[in-house]
Amino acid sequence: MTISFRSADLTALTTDLIAVPMFQDEKLFTAASAALKKDFGTAVAAALASKDFSGKEGETLMIYTGGVKASRLFLVGLGETKKFTLEKLRRSTATAAKKAKALKNKHLSISMPEVAEVLPEPIADVAAAMSEAALLSLYKYDKYLTVAKNGNTLSAIQFVSRSKFGAEITAGLKRGEAIAEATIHARDLSNAPGSEIYPETLANDAKKQGKRYGYSVTVFDRKRIASLRMGGVIGVSKGSEKDPRFIILEYGAQYKKHGTVALVGKGVTFDTGGISIKPSANMAEMKMDMAGAAAVIGTFNAVASLKLKQHLIGLIPSVENMPSGSAVKPGDIIRHYNGKTSEVDNTDAEGRLILADALSYAGRYKPELVIDLATLTGACVVALGHYTSGMMGNDQETMDALLRAGDRSYDRVWQLPMYDEYEKLIKSDVADVKNVGGRWAGAITAGWFLKKFIGDYKWVHLDIAGTAIQEENQDYIPRGGSGAGVRLLVEFLRNK
Ligand code: BES
Ligand code: MN
Ligand code: ZN
């Protein structure tokens, strides 16, 4: 797909469809309507006279111009300017892109909102939201489909404006494209079956991405992991025929002096639950239990392609959680990288066991901040559903910044409390900590478990169990892997 910017009048465009987002404010709507009538003539005048479309949010109107150059005008309502948000623009852009796809169009032109310069958001952000949403909305995981392929015939999307801020718009469109591409890679990794993505192949993908985007990737094999005494990674992987990997990504070493941020991603390539085996209903979803790892790789791709000035370390402990004669058992005690022990009361609480090693290993880099992303608990999905990731941590300022980045990118987070009272729920009689905390507050007790393994750095834990795995199709997020975390982290790091 090529994304481009063109400074032109709509009448100059030769294209299959011109999407025109319009505001409902009376003055703006009247002016925009008059311009369209003047440019496209009687068919448009008749369509607008029908009053079938008034620019309300969610409204659309297809008009066949009868002209030769651009045969279709597709009006999309943006609602009132005073209620404008980037998310509304993402959704209406997605509506337009999906319409062109459904019509099997090749070329789509999208007019920037007529008052883009005066919206409460910088024009580059307006452009970024548009290219991002257009690309994300066209996504379908179709690698293994032999007949019902994606069916996307669109090969070019052109954004059109007469604004004098062409340079800012072009930069914004590029940014949105990089973020969409990174999110799509994370979606692909999540949606891939466990037969394709297991620790070794996940590591190979990370290496490939590093080469492509320009960051370094180091992979530890089972022997190396064992010699480092990462008991959690070794323990959880024991029941599987697939060996574990510990994947280390590094970007921007030249920016070390501004501080290091480490991103830790849960890379369970399939989670059966192990000996504490899961019920079979919906177990297939657990091929996405490496969505945290996918978000880390995706974020690296975007950060490298945007050339952000930030030293970044990525740490991905990767295992397959299987039951077998060699599997870790309830009651077993694990010794983690930092020497602390944990009692495995339930082998299905495996994510925290491997993250414990990665979080303590992160200390080696003396990071100022560590953010971990993990499809960690069903309890978090019960608490927040599929539209918000759970957030916990030890630094309020960072969490506030992440909350803002979430609202802007619409890859949203909500903080859960880590009050001291929850800590005792994971007390063990025989080890330093127990890996489950009983029935209540499961997302928080998981957070508390992780907290026992952090080093001397600011830390935020994001539980993406609900957001990374979607059940319903949305405007620009289809059912399945969503790539949650990428848009959030890129927005956060850009403003850091
Ligand atoms: N990977 C799961 C969590 C999960 C559940 C992710 C649903 C996505 C959707 C995790 O490893 C797990 O099994 N957690 C257990 C913890 C429990 C045993 C304390 C859970 O949530 O049931
Ligand atoms: Mn599990
Ligand atoms: Zn899991």
Per-residue pLDDT of the chain (496 residues; tens, 9 = 90+): 999 999 999 999 999 999 999 999 999 999 999 999 999 999 999 999 999 999 999 999 999 998 778 999 999 999 999 999 999 999 999 999 999 999 999 999 999 998 999 999 999 999 999 999 999 999 999 999 988 777 788 999 999 999 999 999 999 999 999 999 999 999 999 999 999 999 999 999 999 999 999 999 999 999 999 999 999 999 999 999 999 999 999 999 999 999 999 999 999 999 999 999 999 999 999 999 999 999 999 999 999 999 999 999 999 999 999 999 999 999 999 999 999 999 999 999 999 999 999 999 999 999 999 999 999 999 999 999 999 999 999 999 999 999 999 999 999 999 999 999 999 999 999 999 999 999 999 999 999 999 999 999 999 999 999 999 999 999 999 999 999 999 999 999 999 9
Written as one letter, the residue type at 369 is L
Rounded CA gap, 83 and 402, in Å?
A: 23
User: Which of 376, 381, 469 is the pocket-test mutation for ligand 1 (most atoms within 8 Å of CB)?
Assistant: 376
Are residues 302 and 385 located together in one domain of the fold? yes
Compute the chain's Rg from CA coordinates: 24
138 conformational bin, left if phi > 0, alpha if psi -120 to 50, beta if neither: alpha
Determine the atom of ligand 1 nearest the C-alpha atom of 288.
8
Are residues 154 and 220 located together in one domain of the fold? no
For β-strands 311-321 and 245-251, DSSP reports them as: antiparallel
* Ligand 3 centroid, distance to 316 Cα (angstroms): 14
Domain contains 189: no
Domain contains 261: yes
402's tokens: 């992440």
| Residue numbers of the domain that contains 425 | 197-494
Are residues 150 and 217 located together in one domain of the fold? no
Rounded CA gap, 313 and 68, in Å?
A: 53
Rounded CA gap, 305 and 489, in Å?
A: 14
- Confidence (pLDDT) at 459: 99
- Confidence (pLDDT) at 348: 99
Are residues 454 and 359 located together in one domain of the fold? yes
17's tokens: 């469809």
Domain contains 187: no
Are residues 37 and 6 located together in one domain of the fold? yes
Written as one letter, the residue type at 445 is T
Are residues 100 and 229 located together in one domain of the fold? no
Give the CATH number for residue 390: 3.40.630.10
Please list the alpha-helical segments (H only) found in 50-109: 86-102
Q: Identify the residue whose C-alpha is closest to ligand 1 atom 5.
A: 378
Residue 358, judged by CB atoms within 10 A of its CB (0-12, 13-18, 19+), counts as: buried
Taking a 5 Å cut-off on Cβ, the residues next to ion ligand 2 are 271, 348, 350
Residues in contact with ligand 1 (CB, 6 Å cut-off): 271, 289, 346, 348-351, 375-379, 381, 436, 442, 465, 469
Give the CATH number for residue 54: 3.40.220.10
Contact 293, 479 (CB under 8 A): no
Taking a 5 Å cut-off on Cβ, the residues next to ion ligand 3 are 268, 271, 289, 351
The bound ligand whose nearest atom lies closest to the alpha carbon of 471 is: 1
Rounded CA gap, 387 and 383, in Å?
A: 11
Contact 379, 470 (CB under 8 A): no
Contact 391, 374 (CB under 8 A): no
Determine the atom of ligand 1 nearest the C-alpha atom of 445.
19
Residues annotated as part of the active site: 278, 352
- Confidence (pLDDT) at 149: 75
- Confidence (pLDDT) at 182: 99
Rounded CA gap, 5 and 160, in Å?
A: 6
Q: Identify the residue whose C-alpha is closest to ligand 1 atom 16.
A: 349
SS (HEC) of 406-475: HHHHCCCEEECCCCHHHHHHHCCCCCCEECCCCCCCHHHHHHHHHHCCCCCCEEEEEECCCCCEECCCCC
Rounded CA gap, 116 and 119, in Å?
A: 5
- Helices 166-191 & 123-137 angle (0-180, nearest 10): 30
- Confidence (pLDDT) at 67: 76
Max CA distance (Å), the chain: 82
Are residues 407 and 457 located together in one domain of the fold? yes
Domain contains 192: no
- Confidence (pLDDT) at 151: 79
Rounded CA gap, 474 and 33, in Å?
A: 30
User: Which of 289, 375, 377 is the pocket-test mutation for ligand 1 (most atoms within 8 Å of CB)?
Assistant: 377
Domain contains 329: yes
- Determine how many CB atoms are found less than 10 A away from the CB of residue 152: 16
Are residues 285 and 224 located together in one domain of the fold? yes
- Confidence (pLDDT) at 147: 82
Q: Identify the residue whose C-alpha is closest to ligand 1 atom 13.
A: 348
Domain total of the chain: 2
Rounded CA gap, 109 and 74, in Å?
A: 10
- Confidence (pLDDT) at 264: 99
* Ligand 1 centroid, distance to 9 Cα (angstroms): 53
Contacts of 421 (CB under 8 A, 6+ apart): none
Are residues 314 and 366 located together in one domain of the fold? yes
User: Tell me: the pLDDT tens digits for 393-431?
Assistant: 999 999 999 999 999 999 999 999 999 999 999 999 999
Are residues 176 and 203 located together in one domain of the fold? no
* Ligand 3 centroid, distance to 431 Cα (angstroms): 22
- Confidence (pLDDT) at 150: 76
- Helices 442-451 & 351-362 angle (0-180, nearest 10): 30
Domain contains 188: no
3-state percent helix, strand, coil for the chain, nearest multiple of 5: 40, 20, 35
* Ligand 2 centroid, distance to 28 Cα (angstroms): 53
Are residues 396 and 265 located together in one domain of the fold? yes
User: Tell me: the pLDDT tens digits for 424-441?
Assistant: 999 999 999 999 999 999
